[in-house]
Structure 1
Amino acid sequence: MRAMETLPEKRYSAGMNYRHAFHAGNFADVLKHCVLALCLEHLKSKPKPFRVIDTHAGIGGYDLASSEAARSPEWKDGIGRLLNADLPEAAAGALAPYLDVVRALNPDGMRHYPGSPEISARLSRADDRIHLCELHEADAKTLDDRYRRDARVKVERRDGYKALKSLLPPKEKRGLVLIDPPFEDRDELAHMAEAVNGAFGQWPTGTYIFWRSLKNLWAADRFDNGLAEWLIAEKGIEPEKILRADLWVRDLASEGKLAGAGVVVINPPFTLEEKLLGLMPWLADTLAQGDGYGWRVDGGLTDEDVEEGLEE
């Protein structure tokens, strides 16, 4: 199944800087962390333990009263809107694992936002394991301090891309890899493609979640399409085992802060596409910040699929 809102024409841009403390809880986090939570819940449906590998882990959680978050309180137009919304049934079901974590962190009002490590830690079980990589020295120390007493969690100050080769396959043989870089390098998508090229060969059954911005739509589509064609043609993966979900809250060609972002998931849970198709129309309407907002959920991407979508 495939669904898509009309996309604007291709736009080109230079690299961007996405230091996460400034953007915690924004619309991009809502989609990314919803998908992560749904994948974790699916892994928990079987009793065998699993492993989560987070290549760009950040600091684990964010104080929304900090100077960074207060300077640009994007969370108010992201998670803030969801907490006060009247959720329709389909959206409530898809968002439940994610929102349960957020609410557990904030019993007395919104102050703390969970990064992907905290979502993984709160949704994992006693026998599951979490491996967090963070290259930034101060962030790695903050992350290590946060999980020092959690025996399930291992923190390394290390380049997550380079670490993947030694971390895969995990001994549990089940789990997921989240690749969510800060996009400080204009060649970030190329680094992501190189990383999966090596990782998938070592662990073809794992779930891989790639977050990427839609600041440069042409580059994102080129990455998505190239990855899908390589997996289908070279690795023999079935098209339905590749899923893309994108959200843009205003016209992608608009100036200013990030307008769109999304994920590509390899080996997604079989229920993920259906849940996202039920969620995304409502989510786009709820988080919209201007004209030209939209969404797309599709899978089995090829050149023809992408070209047709851009022409609509």
Structure 2
Amino acid sequence: MLSYRHGFHAGNHADVLKHFVLIELLNYLNQKDTAYTYVDTHSGAGLYSLDTGYATKNAEYETGIAPLWDRDDIPTALQAYLDVIKDLNPSGKLRYYPGSPYCADQVMREPDRLRLFELHPSEIKILSENFRKLEAHKAEQGIRPSTRGKRIMINAGDGFDGLKALLPPPSRRALVLIDPPYEVKDDYRRVKVCLEDAAQRFPTGVYAVWYPVLSRIESKQLPERLKRILGNGWLNVTLSISGPSPDGFGLHSSGMFIINPPWTLEATLREVMPYLVRVLGKDAGARYTIESGETEVSKSERPQRTTSQRPVRTSDRNIDARSPRSVATPARQNNRAARPANLNKTRGR
């Protein structure tokens, strides 16, 4: 159970999908002045070196961030994701890749709060050290917090269980990312149970679940089960960079399932996903799917609604499908202080 290290997979196509969607969700929450809480149930190490350690074994980043790195036709909607990674690599050479905690820290505002969980004993040490270095770097530049309370709290424990104590959050606004390794079948069950409990405690929260698209029955059933959880609608997006391998091994496809998604997210995905298929796709099996709809539970609990319910909408495109013309990328604005290139050389998730 504790053998998984995300460093082997850092920056791959699944990370591109996960972190792009995560940053879109965070930027949407940033539009409202009220502070919010971000909860990461499986944080990993938070930051990864791509040219040393685990990431060099299979170089999975070559299926994800690497093909995007030097392109000059990045869609506007994808640029915020690339900006976070570019800021982490000020030399222009792709050496470091951010995990979800780092992405969140860079996009969120000072009054917002991060609550990070990690169970792996080695990963939690690296995660804590990474954020200690970030805080020290800010202090060296004279950047001091202007709000009371601890902005980032790192917890060595099970995020499935730890989430319960954080909901509902004080501000009544929150984004929860659930991203277990799925090394054991029980992870699929625990995702569903965790979300059912969370939705009862805090029905208006935004919940995002990353999951692998595999041939095993648990993977196939997970999205359908999540569609029945209480919420004000759901959105499910998958990205496949190739068809399944003959031996069934390897991750070629993954998905993000969002409960209570922002109303703008589906349109953004329909702009970006054809581009990702075109750039990251390896063969004719490359495709994306987008589904959106309302849960049966949410429908039954809204008797006052008289207008017709929004039907489930799906989209499935293969690599040969004509994608929308990419929007010219505007000059990137970066008002953050430059990060040191040697911020971290971690081995981990």
Q: TM-score, normalising length from structure 1?
A: 0.85
Distance 1:308 1:118, change over 3 A: closer
Output the amino acid matched with 1:289: K
CA positional deviation for 1:302: 7.5
- The 1:174/1:251 distance shift into structure 2, 3 A limit, reads same
How many Å apart are 1:306 and its aligned residue? Answer: 10
Which letter maps to 2:78?
A: L
Listed as ranges, the gaps of 5+ residues in structure 1 are 1-14
**Correspondent of 1:125 among 102, 106, 109:** 109
* 1:166 maps onto 2:165 in alignment: yes
Comparing 64-73 with 204-213, greater Cα deviation is found at 64-73
Q: How far, CA to CA, are the matches of 2:269 and 2:313 in structure 1?
A: 19
Does residue 137 in structure 1 map to residue 102 in structure 2?
Answer: no
1:245 equivalent in alignment to 2:237: yes
TM-score (norm 2): 0.76
Q: Does 1:188 align with 2:172?
A: no
Residues 14-36 of structure 1 show CA distances to partners (whole Å, capped at 9, x for unaligned) of x9x86310010000000000000
Deviations 1:163-202 (A, max 9, x none): 1111111112112000001112122211100110111100
1:114 aligns with one of 98, 108, 113: 98
The aligned amino acid for 1:188 is D
Residues 19-168 of structure 1: pairs in structure 2 closer than 5 A: 19-87=5-73, 92-108=75-91, 109-148=93-132, 150=135, 151-168=150-167
Between the aligned residues of both structures, percent identity stands at: 36
**SS of corresponding position for 2:207:** strand
1:298 and 2:307 matched: no
Helix, strand or coil: the match of 1:67? coil
Deviations 1:188-221 (A, max 9, x none): 2111001101111001111100000002364334
Aligned partners of 1:274 and 1:127: how far apart in 2?
Answer: 29
Length, aligned pairs only:
284
How far apart are residue 256 of structure 1 and its match? Answer: 3.1
Task: Decide which structure has greater helix share.
Answer: 1
* Structure 1 residues 20 and 129, CA gap change in structure 2 (3 angstroms): same
Unaligned runs of 5+ in 2: 136-149, 297-310, 317-349
Q: Deviations over 1:38-60 (max 9, x none)?
A: 00000111111111000000000
Query: Once the 2 structures are TM-superposed, how far is the Cα of residue 284 of structure 1 from its aligned partner?
Result: 0.8
CA distance in 2, matches of 1:122, 1:302: 33
State the Cα distance separating 1:262 from its structure 2 match: 1.1
